[in-house]
Every structure is written in structure tokens, then in C-alpha cells.
Amino acid sequence: MNKSLSYKILEKNLIKGIVEPGNEVEIKVNQTLTQDSTGTMVYLQLESMNVSKIKTDFSVAYIDHNILQTGFENADDHEFIKSICEKYKIIYSKPGNGICHQINLERFGIPGNVLIGSDSHTPTGGGLGMIAIGTGGLDVAVAMATGKYTMKVPKILNIKLNGKLNKGVSAKDVILYILKILSVKGGVGYIVEYSGEGLKSLSLTDRATITNMGAELGATTSIFPSDDITKEFLIKQNRENDFSYFKADEFAKYDKTIEIDLSELEPMVAMPHSPDNVEKIKNIEKLKVDQVAIGSCTNSSYSDLMKVAKILKGKRVNENVSLVISPGSSNIMKIISDNGALGILIQSGARILEAGCGPCIGMGQAPRNNAISLRTFNRNFQGRCGTKSASVYLVSPETAAISAINGYLTSPLEIEIDLDIKEPRKYEVHNNYFIYPKENNSKKVYMGPNIKPFPLKGKLEDNLSGIVLLKTGDNITTDDIMPSNAKILPYRSNIPKLSGYAFGTIINDFNKRAIKNNGGFVVGGSNYGQGSSREHAALVPLYLGVKAVIAKSFARIHKNNLINVGIIPLVFKNIDDYELINENDEIFIENISEVLNDDILLKINDKEIILKFEGSKRDAEVLKLGGYLNYSIKELKGD
Ligand code: MIC
Ligand code: SF4
């Protein structure tokens, strides 16, 4: 036998199709997760499907992103999600409990399970040996309603890890190094599967740091085998019964293999404004820092925070630095509070936030103008921290802590103390922030005034015409298309309001251009729509009348989101034709639904350009029906 671990799990959950690269398959979904900033849409969509109960083994709704309650909007959204959870028997994780991905590892992740989540960092669960995929919200709503997920089988990229990390070098440096060699597009079309001797020296949460940032590679997901280290973690969490071994066959076949010697790696930093703009710290000239932020779903585990506490013990945060720490979960917060580490952090002068996403999504702690902010997070896109002129650098917790003391970016190789963390034999876990499904549940749904109906497209028109509203460069993120910060995030359930901020990092009048011209087209470069899974980056353009996005290539989740809402993602047959289209050009496509799976002729005045729709027959059907919700409602009715 020569099967990869990923294909074994997909085959175990297979409902329809053959697990071979490029094939479309339908798989059983064991678990789903949502968070609040994508969750309101998910549950509005679930409601409109008219199902009486969910069909996953279990589903969890987390409140972790929009927890800064500066007005009634976020609290109303929380209440809406809570009432939906009661109605559909979904587990509800209250605000303050922590970040969905960290809690999934601790309380719910099961090796060998398939998890679908409405957040791009869902692959964090791959650290536990799950196939954990981040998708748009509608895919999660359908997974809850049907227990199924349809996907194109990715190829497998094997990363073989040899050797052992040196002191001061950590899992974050491993994934930053991988981003340096592969780039933010390097994982597109792949599942990244880790193997090799080096695995033995990586803890469960080290592995989760690595699979988490597989999202930044553009990969469908990343996965580690479940082994004795996984078992030990689940025992500590009082979940031994959830454990089983899963690994690839000895002579597993992979589409591509890369070998990395862990002992050769050095501390790394991702420089502004992209997670793949990576350099060795030793090659960076002295960089004074203004803010240091420790936390996020990438680096907020128990051992991450304990390392930080060890480094800060008896020391003082530099007077020119604001150090802010957001623990990953309430359980971690409690343990570091019980064992005294929290006191050490406070004594050093750190600012402690409640467990949640916090500054990672610009929910507070926006740095000052032109600040240098060092963060243990996973994304450093321009403006995401809430301050457009700030420069965000991504580093490991060790680097962040020593730099907070010194006031400038410092290599953790300079740390003299021992950084080994002895984890407790068992964590004292509590579940008091969860509300579990009740027998006699209420079916009443609470909806605040900020929750507005979402736009829904009708059947696909025969001919598409309009102007090019915007032409962008390469690697445009969903943070560019639909920015997020403390001011805008409360409107995630109010698409009309949100539409005023579309493409806000690039231009400030996209909505006006779109309204004036009755919608139109967007032209993009390569890897268009990388980053977050937010389907708002598709729903808002739909609301503003965007009919198709024409790009050199698309990021996976955003492309699916466009199809799901009914906007056609088209690519240039000849990439150089990108140069032939300009903003304000009038363009015309005839008989679109007939030619979807063929060459598509685009006419601009006297020029003709050939485009392609790179989707399956099913994707074409979805587009013809005006989106995945219309398609799913039809399927659920059995029409
Ligand atoms: C992010 O890290 O960008 C987010 C916020 O978690 C998003 C989800 C969202 O936009 O709500 C993600 O990664 O999918
Ligand atoms: Fe939250 Fe940041 Fe993780 Fe997104 S990347 S889930 S905002 S902590």
C-alpha cells in the first residue's frame, strides 16, 4: 500500500467519487466550526435552507472575533448566534472562551475526522491529524444541513522534516522558512502533509502552529500524522477516548516532496506586508519596535505563553514598547493564572487582553502612526492591524518577548536561559464557557436591527456587459476587497452598510463607481483573493452588481465564494492578455451560460480576449442557478 495520510482520511469519509487528484468528491463532514464574524451569515443561510436539524456529528459556534462591544451590534450578533445554536443543537462557545482554532484543538478535534470551518485557519486542526478545511460560510451551512462537503481532490505536497530545532528556533520559524521557499501561492492546489524523523521533536501545538500558517501558503489544508505525541496531548485534555493512530503508508506516493533539516533553521521574520516576505533575523539591521503583540490562533498555546513568561521573568518591558498579550483560550488563561505565569507577565508591564483574536483582526490595539509592530500572528497585510501607516513584522513568541524587553528586534539566540517547557501531566480543564444543546430547546431566533438580509442572485443572464470598475495587481487579499477592523467588523451581518468600505485599502469610491455604472467587472492579477475566508469579499461585490472577476489566477476559498454567491471567476487563457484590459473599458461577453465550460470570448471595443472558467460541471450549474444557496435549496427539496 502506498497511500498518503490525507487520501486515507478522505477515503474513510468518502460518499461519492474517486479520491484522485483533480476529481470532484463528496465527503462526510464530522464536525463544523464557525466564528462570529463569518458565523452570522452562515446561520442566516442555514435558516433559509429550512432544515429541522443538523447532520454533522456535532457543530460548534465560537464567539472570538467581534468581542469588542463598542455598540449593540456585536452583542446582538452574539445573541442571534446563541439562539440559532439552541434551535439547531449546536454547541455555543461564549465570548471570553478563546479562539476557535485553539479551542478546537483542546476540546473537540479528533484525529481522522473531517472538519469544515468558516475561517481560513481551520487547518490548525491538521496538527491533530484531521483533514480540517477552511471554506466560505455557505459551504459550512450546507455541511451542517447535509453532513456533506463537495471538493476537488488536491494534490499532495510532502514536507519531510529531519533533524531537530536548535534552542531559540521554534515552529513559527519552520513555517516562516517554508513560506520563504514556497511563497503565498506555493500551496495552491495542494494538501501539505508532514512526515519524517523531525516530527518527534515537535509538540502538538508546534504542529498546529505549522498547519495554521499553511493557510498563508494557499494550501487546501496541512496535516501531521496522529502519533504518541497526539495521544499524550489528548490525555492531558482528558480526551484519551478521542485518540486513534493515523499515518501515511510507508511508501506513500506524493506529487511533490521537499526535505527540510530542522537543525539548519535559524530565527526568521516576515517583513511588511506579506507573510512570505521572510528573512533571517540576523540579516535585518537594528529595528526599533513600538508595539509587540503576542497571541492569535498561531501562537497562543500554553507552551508559547510559558516561554514568554520565562523570558520576561524578573525583567521589564522596554519603556518605548507596548506589549500586549492575548491568550488562546480561557483554559490556558486559567492555568497560567494558577501557576503564577500570568503574574510574571503583568509584573513585566504587559497588557493582558481577554482570550480571543483581538489585535490580529484589528479589534483594538491599533498601533500608532508609522509604528513598527512585532506580532506572533499569521498575517501582516497592510492596514490589517488598524493603522495603515504601520509596519507589521511576524515572529516567534521567543523573538517577540526578548524584543519587547530590548525595544528592538532581537534574535532569540541571544536568550541565555533554558526555554524548555514542562507541560503538566494533565490540564485542569473546565467547560464553563460552553452552552451545550438542550433536550427541550427553544426554536425562537433573536435578530437585532443590525442584521439585514443578504443579497441573493437570480438565474444567470445570457449576456454580460459593463465597465471594468477596478483593475488590481497580484496577491490582492480578501482584507483588501473587504477590509476588517474594529470600526467595520460590527457590520458583518449588514451587507448594505459594509458595501461602503469595499476595496477600501486600494480605492475609497468603489461603491460609488459600482452604483453609478450599474455594477460591472473587476480585473485582478494572480492569486486574487488570498487570505481570509470571509465570503463578505464576494457578497459585497455581488450586492454592488459585480458580474464577473477576471484574473490571472484565484486563491481557492475566494474562488469558491465567488461561485457560491453567483459571481463568475474567469481567468485569462493567455496570461499576457491581462495587459490588454484597462479600468473603464466597456466589456461584453455573449451567451455566457452556454460557453461556461468552453473558451469564453470577451470583447472590448475592437479587441477580443479568450477567457476560461476553471470550474467543474457542478460549479457551472451552481452559477447558472444564481449561486450555491439556490442550488442547495433545490437539492434539499429533491427537485
Ligand atoms: C482572518 O484571520 O482574516 C479571519 C478574520 O479570521 C478570517 C475570517 C473573517 O474574515 O471573518 C479568516 O481567516 O478566514
Ligand atoms: Fe482570529 Fe487572527 Fe486566527 Fe483569524 S488569524 S482566526 S483573526 S486569531
Q: Encode pLDDT of 420-441 as tens digits.
A: 999 999 998 999 999 999 999 9
With a cut of 70, list the residues of the chain below it in pLDDT.
639
Cα-based distances in Å from 316 to 313, 319, 321: 8, 8, 10
CA–CA distance, 381 with 529 (Å, rounded to integer): 13
CA–CA distance, 44 with 536 (Å, rounded to integer): 13
Domain ranges of the chain: 268-412, 464-637
Which uninterrupted H or E stretch holds 309?
A: helix 302-312
* The pLDDT value given to residue 639: 65
Q: Which ligand is nearest to the CA of 377?
A: 2
Q: Which ligand is nearest to the CA of 488?
A: 1
**Ligand 2, CB cutoff 6 Å, lining residues:** 65, 99, 119, 121, 296-297, 357, 360-361, 378
Can you read off the three cell numbers belonging to residue 259? 526535505
Which uninterrupted H or E stretch holds 239?
A: none
Ligand 1 pocket test, pick from 140, 485, 532 with the greatest ligand atom count within 8 Å of Cβ, gives 532
Specify the ligand 2 atom closest to the Cα of 532: 4
* The pLDDT value given to residue 593: 87
Q: Encode pLDDT of 457-516 as tens digits.
A: 999 999 999 999 999 999 999 999 999 989 999 999 999 999 999 999 999 999 999 999
CA–CA distance, 276 with 272 (Å, rounded to integer): 9
CA–CA distance, 504 with 510 (Å, rounded to integer): 8
Residue showing cell 433573536: 446
Taking CA atoms only, the protein residue closest to ligand 2 atom 7 is: 361
Residue 415 CA to ligand 1 center (angstroms) comes to: 33
Q: Is 122 in the pocket of ligand 1 (CB under 6 A)?
A: no
Q: Is the preceding peptide bond at 273 cis, omega within 30 degrees of 0?
A: yes
464-637 CATH pick, 3.20.19.10, 3.40.50.720, 3.30.450.20, 3.60.20.10? 3.20.19.10
CA–CA distance, 482 with 252 (Å, rounded to integer): 41
Q: Which ligand is nearest to the CA of 530?
A: 1
Ligand 1 pocket test, pick from 34, 68, 74, 121 with the greatest ligand atom count within 8 Å of Cβ, gives 121
Residue 517 CA to ligand 2 center (angstroms) comes to: 36
Q: Is 484 in the pocket of ligand 1 (CB under 6 A)?
A: yes
Ligand 1 pocket test, pick from 42, 64, 65, 485 with the greatest ligand atom count within 8 Å of Cβ, gives 65
CATH number at 268-412: 3.30.499.10
Contact between 577 and 557 under an 8 Å Cβ cutoff? The reply is no
